[in-house]
Amino acid sequence: MSSETQADRESFAAFLLRMRGRGLEDKALIAAMEATPRRGFIPGQWQAHAWSDRMLPIECGEAIEGADFQAKILASLALEPSHRVLEIGTGSGFSAAVIGRLAARVLTVERYRTLATNARQRLEALGITNVSVRHMDGVNGVQSEGPFDRIVVWAAFEGLPRTFVDQLASGGVLIAPIGPPEGLQHMARLTKVGSRFDREDIATTRLQPLASGVAAAI
């Protein structure tokens, strides 16, 4: 993992100021993010922007969401030390690493083998042992592993993801973007109540639609 620089510390301090300005002062989350060297999850030419709110390119033509957006979503998960968490879309592995510092167990799935392999290596380098990275199609979740207390999906559904209801524990929370593939989507916080969801929209975004299958070559 890349070592932290003075510029990184200054960039993280600026990120903290932005978070405080938006009322996000979750001390456990901030500590978990600070303990996770974000630049090590981002290709070299973009590392100076690691703590910015810019979406940055990573391997396989994918991207990592801006630090501010990730913090907002992770804070909205309201993670507790006993939670079992499912993440769809491992990407660089940064969010899985942060969640792993806050929850009991994390299963993160990724359709690109290269991303899954790189994320696994980064987590091992940080000594994070409660996160399992799986290379697989996550479009229908991981039905054999539930129920989960929290599910977060970093790709968009066109409609309410009802196939995930049964994978959530009672009172569990799923956060995912819902909306058209080419338009503005709402980041929805869905709380399981019985066999349905209570929905609260917490942000707007534009993320790639959730793709089925695993990538053929990478």
Is the pLDDT at 3 greater than 60, yes or no? no
Domain assignment of residue 186, yes or no: yes
Residue 182's domain comprises 55-205
The pLDDT value recorded for residue 4 is 65
Task: Give the CA distances from residue 141 to residues 14, 18, 23, 163, 204, in Å, rounded to whole numbers and listed in that order.
Answer: 36, 33, 32, 8, 23
Domain assignment of residue 139, yes or no: yes
Q: What is the distance between the alpha carbons of residues 34 and 32, in angstroms, rounded to a whole number? A: 5
DSSP labels for 112-139?
-HHHHHHHHHHHHHTT--SEEEEES--T
pLDDT (mean) for 51-75? 96
Domain assignment of residue 8, yes or no: no
Q: For 192-213, how does the pLDDT look when each residue is reduced to its tens digit (9 = 90+)?
A: 999 889 999 999 999 999 998 8
Domain assignment of residue 20, yes or no: no
Q: What is the distance between the alpha carbons of residues 130 and 178, in angstroms, rounded to a whole number? A: 29
Q: For 128-168, how does the pLDDT look when each residue is reduced to its tens digit (9 = 90+)?
A: 999 999 999 999 999 999 899 999 999 999 999 988 989 99
pLDDT (mean) for 99-108? 98
State the residue for tokens 């507790």: 80
Domain count, the chain: 1
* Strand ranges (E), the chain: 56-57, 63-64, 84-88, 105-110, 131-135, 148-153, 168-178, 185-193, 196-205
Domain assignment of residue 173, yes or no: yes
pLDDT (mean) for 53-71? 96
pTM > 0.85: yes
Is the pLDDT at 7 greater than 90, yes or no? no
Domain assignment of residue 15, yes or no: no
How wide is the angle at C-alpha 117 spanned by C-alphas 69 and 144, nearest 5°? 80
Q: What is the CATH number of the domain that holds 68?
A: 3.40.50.150
Peptide bond into 147 cis (omega under 30): yes
Domain assignment of residue 182, yes or no: yes
The pLDDT value recorded for residue 8 is 84
In whole angstroms, how large is the CA radius of gyration of the chain? 16
Domain assignment of residue 11, yes or no: no
